[in-house]
Structure 1
Amino acid sequence: MRCSDRTPFPAIFFDRPAPEVAPDLIGAWLRIGATAGLITETEAYGANDPASHSFRGPTARNAAMFGPPGHAYVYRSYGVHWCLNVVCRRGEAVLFRALDPQLGLDLMAARRGADRPALLARGPGRLGQALGVTRALDGLRFDQPDLCLSPGETPAVLTGTRIGITRAADLPWRFGWAGSPHLSRRFPATTASAPG
């Protein structure tokens, strides 16, 4: 089933704390233009989370995080990679860390300069590059034909601590599809939650 054939998640789905939304997005379809795939890894960032861009309040850069739920928040990481998030409750967002590519693989490969599907969208920077993410998506709703999030699979979900941060690094707010080869990094030995 293609993302464009499915009904997008309603805004109310995202109007919850990010740590609740993040695991529920594992297995969901993410589509941007002619490219799409199943989300395999996410990270949650809360309003009172010192690792979150929203922690010190609204700025021009993070304004979308304080907007309506179900909208995109895009930022540039290390001045190189565009990273894609979905806004949850005010000041909270879920970062898309990895994707199992399903549609537009040739286009993703051309953008990435790599043709192995397992490497196309493993990690938030690679995912952004493969899907053609730019700042132009910042603040847009995820319920459009060329920018949508919709229900997909319901896999078992792994939980672990977030990657690449120094503040609140012990929070178990990273989630991944158990057994997927499309993860940015392995999860520590842990018990996966049951699907559904």
Structure 2
Amino acid sequence: MEVFRALPPAFFDQPPPMVARALLGARLVRRVGDAVLAGRIVETEAYLSAGDAAAHGARPMTQRTRVLFGPAGRAYVYRLRQYALLDVTTEGPGVPGAVLLRAVEPVLGAEHMLALGGGADVRRVASGPGKLCRAFAVDLTLNGADLTDADGPLFLAAGPPEAFEVRVTPRVGITRAQAAPLRFVVAGSASISRP
């Protein structure tokens, strides 16, 4: 069985595009009761701290976005329509960069993910940011969680060494700054949100 070691705070204290690319192949780990769920991150999107009209941090801080302006390596969980979405803060206090986790491939606890997320295809159970949050039971109670704490309910861990091709594309599902090449995917994964 894979041993999950949390990524250190310094990993997240970088510009969002660097963190977004580096998170590919890492593990999202969630404790739900007695169950441990884990998935290999296969799709991310970077949101810049300055000059990015699609980023929540592009506007003045609000109660909703306060976490974005705090330490790097925290969960920024928010709602978009009926879905919870999960971002990871980057760059450190006062600099509101973030990376949206868009898709993961189940590694551990796939049956539990299917029960939470619905559907029958385990490869697609977390193949989008809203589906990912459903499959991992991520909700607003996890907003601000320290994703560098392996003893916490939700954290990010290093994955085993592996070789894969990274594709960079424009972000999807947004109406502003659409053309920016800030979406990173593991080429060939059946779990990415869109081809």
TM-score between the two structures when normalised by the length of structure 1: 0.90
Gaps of 5+ in 1: 187-196
Aligned counterparts of 1:112 and 1:141: Cα–Cα separation in 2: 24
Partner residue in 1 for 2:63 = 60
Contact 2:124 2:190 in 1 (8 A): no
How far residue 22 of structure 1 moved from its aligned partner, in angstroms, is 0.1
Identity %: 42
Q: Does residue 114 of the first structure (1) align with residue 119 of the second (2)?
A: yes
Aligned counterparts of 1:125 and 1:23: Cα–Cα separation in 2: 20
TM-score between the two structures when normalised by the length of structure 2: 0.90
Residue identity matched to 1:179: G
Residue identity matched to 1:135: L
Partner residue in 2 for 1:99 = 104
Give the secondary-structure state (helix, strand or coil) at the position aligned to 1:54.
Answer: helix
- Gap change, CA 1:129 and 1:179, over 3 Å in 2: same
Give the secondary-structure state (helix, strand or coil) at the position aligned to 1:6.
Answer: coil
How far residue 7 of structure 1 moved from its aligned partner, in angstroms, is 2.3
Q: Deviations over 1:157-177 (max 9, x none)?
A: 110000011211111000000
- Which of residues 75, 97, 103 in structure 2 aligns to 1:72? 75
- Which of residues 152, 166, 171 in structure 2 aligns to 1:157? 166
How far residue 9 of structure 1 moved from its aligned partner, in angstroms, is 1.0
Task: State the Cα RMSD in Å.
Answer: 1.1
Partner residue in 2 for 1:13 = 11
- Which of residues 132, 135, 144 in structure 1 aligns to 2:150? 144
Gaps of 5+ in 2: none
- Which of residues 164, 188, 191 in structure 2 aligns to 1:179? 188
Aligned counterparts of 1:144 and 1:85: Cα–Cα separation in 2: 18
Aligned counterparts of 1:133 and 1:16: Cα–Cα separation in 2: 24
How far residue 144 of structure 1 moved from its aligned partner, in angstroms, is 2.6
Following TM superposition, the consecutive aligned residue runs of length 4 or more in structure 1 with deviations greater than 4 angstroms are: none
Partner residue in 1 for 2:86 = 84
Partner residue in 1 for 2:24 = 26
